[in-house]
Chains A and B, each alone.
Chain A
Amino acid sequence: MENNKFLDIKGLNVSFYTQKGVVRAVRDLDLWINKGETLALVGESGCGKSVTASSIIRLIPSPPGKIESGEIFLDGQDILKLSEEEMQKIRGDKISMIFQDPMTSLNPVFKIGDQIAEIFITHYGLKKKEALERAVEMLDMVKIPSPEKRVKSYPHQLSGGMRQRVMIAMALASPHPGIMIADEPTTALDVTIQAQILDLMKELQEKIQMSLLLITHDMGVVAEMASRVAVMYAGRKVESADVYSIFEKPFHPYTVGLLNSMPSNEKYKHNARLEAIEGNVPNLLEIGDGCPFENRCKYAKDICRNKFPEIKDMGNNHHVWCHFAGELNF
């Protein structure tokens, strides 16, 4: 089993040293993704999802950011031990990333064909002409109509959905696509376009057997795409399980809150109105060693304030970090 993990994060801690103090954006995070698998990383905004993603590709802005400790094994190799030059070779090769805003994630002054071709020139050493031919193939693969014409377009001439397709094409142009990190890839798109992009990602991922780390705060997207889910809250992982058990039997009060706030969830419709989770995400500067969800949790007791819970194994690879996991009735 162990060697089947394409990505394996162990005990990751990431902090930002700001003028107001140290922000512990990611704390003691363990996360793994098997080959060809989709893991959804969910949580409210500000909980450390993007910081986790940037750590995996080692693009945490530093200063102020710093990876304090931990190991990130990518295809068996601890990338935190690599030099910057070695890491640069891995980016856009084994690992690639798609960003939230397709409006701004392409360089506005270059034709999209040239931008895709650049990858073939850098990573494959192709000549410009061949690289452009490959760019056309890539656009075709992500189902952009009349790709021969489109390579000559500038980003501002494409719609948001088209641009996100171009981003996917660029991510998949890498020579050894092992894992793709998609940081809220559809948040900025219309609902209908969202579905198309997700379908495309799923199809291509299955085709090339690539792992996908899908970051989202939309439980609907999770249900659609993921095989496993990790729920993050204020820099910590609070629950992880396969997608079926998360929806069927969540154990963490925060996960329950997330599911309750999802409009189309049949299971939770009867016992709760569509409800937002009360209260606010704690300030990461002031956060103590207790359970970060304690101030918003209606089941919180003294112990929650003082101590972050140990991992609880609920069977079937379902893990929860809650003192009262299994004892609460939602």
Chain B
Amino acid sequence: MSFLKLFKSENVANNSESIWYENWQLLKKNKSAMFGLYIIIFFVLIAIFAPVVAPFDPYAQNIDIRKLPFFSWPYILGTDDFGRDILSRIIYGARISLVIGFISVSISLIFGSFIGLISGFYGGWIDKISMRIIDIMLAFPYILLTIVIVALLGPTLLNAMIAIGIARLPQYARIMRASVLAEKAAEYVEAEKSLGVGNVELMFRSILPNCLAPIIVQATLGVGSAIIESAALSFLGLGAQPPTPEWGLMIASAREFVSSAWWIVTFPGIAILFVVLGFNLLGDGIRDVLDPRLKD
């Protein structure tokens, strides 16, 4: 049956906790997932309150203080080759990276799930056509596909998000389709049909909520990879454009100083590392909770 933990019928408790609540209780016990969640919350707070927490204007250049090493008070993480405060740029960069992560994942989540839901539910030629298109998309090396899409749309940050969203969409479609196929065979679907429930309602109201678990795992892990990918695109000059304080772009534009002023490239890299780590830990934890088969 579904990924959800449904098999605790001996637990006839009087409390009417939903499965989601129960899963949250389990997740809370998972230390690494919680650590991941704290990292994410930390970055989200920083992003929201960037103007408050950032000590300097991330765009303000000052040729007198170029490439100050880190711990040069008050420039805690030092300054870059234009004399901009690296800490402030990283803090503002969190906004960009998280927005990129959420938007591109939302694109693949919404469209991918929709395609997977429709093709899994209706089957037949709809399924055949959409799955062949998905196969073709998956046949491209992933980063190449992204680059092609950005090249077609033009190199801006928004287009990078769209490209990442589209390029990752096949995975969501596949996952959703597989869960829908499994759920479609479940007896409750038959039972609801026998009560006169129509196709659209069956698909969106009955089956979809039962297919969310694997998609949520995928989406959580996906935010992390989308952040890395947008950094890669910016690094290649296909994403954010200077002087945007995007982490990938910060690394790219200072790469010639890797040996002389290592902190300019290192700290944005560490920021990427932590955010992605946060999403990966959380995603893995959610998977452990939702899919008992993966537990030892």
Contact = CB atoms under 8 A, between A and B. Distances in A.
Interface of B: 1-2, 4-9, 11-14, 16-19, 186-188, 190-198, 206, 209-210
A92 B18 CA distance: 27
B16 A156 contact: no
A158 B9 contact: yes
A108 B196 contact: no
A110 B17 CA distance: 11
A105 B6 CA distance: 13
B188 A157 contact: no
A59 B194 contact: yes
Residue of A110, A123, A158, A159 contacting most chain B CB atoms (<10 Å): A110
Secondary structure at the B interface, as helix, strand, loop or mixed, is loop
A157 B9 contact: yes
Nearest to A88: B196
A122 B191 contact: no
9 contacts: A59-B194, A90-B196, A99-B187, A100-B187, A104-B187, A105-B187, A109-B19, A119-B195, A158-B12
Given A101-B187, A149-B16, 6 more contacts: A89-B196, A92-B196, A104-B187, A108-B19, A156-B5, A157-B16
A107 B192 CA distance: 9
A91 B210 contact: no
Judged by DSSP, the binding face of A is loop
A176 to B, nearest CB: 12
A106 B16 contact: no
Nearest to B211: A109
B191 A157 contact: no
Contacts of B196: 88-93, 122-123
Given A105-B190, A109-B19, A156 B8 contact: yes
A301 interface: no
Range class of the A interface residue count: 35 or more
Interface in A97-121: 97, 99-101, 103-111, 118-119
Contacts of B8: 156
B28 to A, nearest CB: 19
B188 A107 contact: yes
Contacts of A99: 187, 190-191
Interface string A20-55: 000000000000000000000000000000000000
A159 B186 CA distance: 19
Lowest 10 A-B CB distances belong to which pairs? A92-B195, A92-B196, A152-B16, A91-B196, A97-B194, A104-B187, A105-B187, A105-B191, A109-B209, A107-B188
A92 to B, nearest CB: 4
A51 to B, nearest CB: 13
A73 interface: no
A170 interface: yes
| Most interface-central of B192, B195, B209 (chain A CB within 10 A) | B195
Nearest to B184: A61
A180 to B, nearest CB: 10
Contact of B195 (A96, A103, A154): A96
